[in-house]
Structure 1
Amino acid sequence: MKGAVLSLNHIILNTDELQFQAWRELAMYEFGMGLPGKMAQSLAGLSRQQALQVVLQHFKQTDADEEALLKEQYEMYGKAIDGITDDQLLPNAKRLIINFYDHYVDLAVNDTDGYAHDILEKVNLDDYFNVVVDDNHTDNLYLKACEELSIEPADCIGIGTSQHEIQLMKDANILSVGVGDSKQISSADYQVTQVGDLRYAMLRKLWEDRQE
């Protein structure tokens, strides 16, 4: 195992919470009313464009300048990130990353919202990652990560939380490790409930067994 490609959200920390914080601020500023806490689950995992549609529907807005609102929310998300600390890391996330690093496993993180560099720096993990991969001009972030790491896909593993991510790993011929909702990760090669269940030795053994 020479490389690992990690998702940022729900593997390192919960960016859904930060996104919701930004959507709440946008709603208050633009529509004079915040969003109810119960909407957090409805927006979790959605793209920013999809989330905007949910917010506009909530306020019954049909003629909003969507491009301007997306830009505004993106800036508010950046401000939310300014306030994070390593206390917001998910349990075991840092230990797992350091274990990879100590065993000379090169690391990449998927950047789907444009702020991965800033987040890793804020939580003091930026020195452990070789590559931050954005989703511009690529159909498969995992293949792109392997290319940027200069490692064959068969020598990498991927760790993610969604059905879409798991499928991309399989398309890239990467050992797929799913974390979280069993319905979302049912097709993964290996599944756990939370990041805290992952251990380097276990992941190494899974990768070695796949080579036989």
Structure 2
Amino acid sequence: MFKAVIFDLDGVITDTAAFHFVAWKKLGEKLGIELTESFNEELKGVDRIESLRRILALRNQELDFSNEEKAVLATEKNDYYVTLIQQITPNDLLPGISDLLKDLKKNHIKVGLASASKNAPMILNQLGLTNAFDTIVDPATLSKGKPDPEIFVKACEQLLITPSEAIGIEDAYSGVQAINDANMLSVGVGDAETLSAADYVFSTTANLTFEELMHIWELKNYASNKKNSFTR
């Protein structure tokens, strides 16, 4: 049996992508850069400064701002984003997540959060989930962002388990890659083609149940044992 499940936040626990888009779009208008929803999809799982760099690159403006000026712009975006997410309530939990978290606790499975968002603790509080997680990785303590596996490895360290004992759940390609490189079982939520690198993909969180996680864990162990039987 797996010992922990480590979740991403946006697109897995709740969906704040629309709020991010509105906030980035407002900043883009100030900079004379038009942003599209399809481009916003590429920012999933990407930290704030890297997102800003990609936005500036759309109009070759990366070198027009110093690091200090970029930090000011990123803070401006975040301040507006924070005002938007004040309206989040427990009703904004994605389908099935509340039941999944309860079932994990009931079965003594540890729960961690590996989100690039520095606003994650506030969002969890808005959702009424502050006590649902055994650990939350502080992205400010990391040296690298996703797709580097550091955030998932650190979550496992904080839970006192090895990555091979955990399942990671993500909705972004970079996040799935990070889970895989951490040597965890990877579960994607969303488009199967985009998340094809995941071990298993669910089209919606509504299908993401404790029973399903047990099933795919058993399948993983069966496949591993079968492979080992041929290599002895």
Deviation at 1:77? Answer: 1.7
| TM-score using structure 1 length | 0.85
Question: 1-side partners of 2:174 and 2:60: how far apart?
Answer: 30
Deviation at 1:203? Answer: 0.6
1:137 aligns to 2:147 (yes or no): no
Deviation at 1:118? Answer: 0.5
Counterpart for residue 40 of structure 1: 37
| TM-score using structure 2 length | 0.78
After superposition, the Cα gap between the structure-2 partners of 1:106 and 1:19, relative to the gap in structure 1 and judged at 3 Å, is same
Counterpart for residue 113 of structure 1: 117
Question: 1-side partners of 2:152 and 2:102: how far apart?
Answer: 21
Deviation at 1:76? Answer: 1.6
After superposition, the Cα gap between the structure-2 partners of 1:26 and 1:108, relative to the gap in structure 1 and judged at 3 Å, is same
Deviation at 1:142? Answer: 1.3
Deviation at 1:116? Answer: 0.7
Counterpart for residue 20 of structure 1: 21
Q: Counterpart of 2:193 in structure 1: which amino acid?
A: K
The answer on whether the counterparts of 1:81 and 1:118 sit within 8 Å (CA) in structure 2 is no
After superposition, the Cα gap between the structure-2 partners of 1:60 and 1:170, relative to the gap in structure 1 and judged at 3 Å, is closer
Question: 2-side partners of 1:11 and 1:133: how far apart?
Answer: 16
1:88 paired residue among 86, 92, 100: 92
The answer on whether the counterparts of 1:43 and 1:51 sit within 8 Å (CA) in structure 2 is no
After superposition, the Cα gap between the structure-2 partners of 1:54 and 1:187, relative to the gap in structure 1 and judged at 3 Å, is closer
Kindly provide the CA deviation profile for residues 146-184 of structure 1, in whole angstroms up to 9, marking residues without a partner as x.
101001222211111222222222222211111112222
Deviation at 1:101? Answer: 1.6
| Deviates further, 146-155 or 49-58 | 49-58
The answer on whether the counterparts of 2:124 and 2:130 sit within 8 Å (CA) in structure 1 is yes
Q: Counterpart of 1:137 in structure 2: which amino acid?
A: S
Moved over 6 A (4+): 57-62
The answer on whether the counterparts of 1:43 and 1:54 sit within 8 Å (CA) in structure 2 is no
| Deviates further, 124-133 or 180-189 | 180-189
| Deviates further, 160-169 or 133-142 | 133-142
After superposition, the Cα gap between the structure-2 partners of 1:4 and 1:66, relative to the gap in structure 1 and judged at 3 Å, is same
Query: Helix, strand or coil: the match of 2:88?
Result: coil
The answer on whether the counterparts of 2:5 and 2:167 sit within 8 Å (CA) in structure 1 is yes
Counterpart for residue 227 of structure 2: none
1:78 aligns to 2:82 (yes or no): yes
Question: 2-side partners of 1:130 and 1:210: how far apart?
Answer: 25
Deviation at 1:98? Answer: 1.6
After superposition, the Cα gap between the structure-2 partners of 1:60 and 1:45, relative to the gap in structure 1 and judged at 3 Å, is closer
Counterpart for residue 104 of structure 1: 108
Kindly provide the CA deviation profile for residues 33-59 of structure 1, in whole angstroms up to 9, marking residues without a partner as x.
9x97x7233223413345435655778
Query: Helix, strand or coil: the match of 1:178?
Result: strand
Counterpart for residue 212 of structure 2: 202
Structure 2, unpaired ranges of 5+: 223-232
Query: Helix, strand or coil: the match of 2:191?
Result: coil
Deviation at 1:102? Answer: 1.6
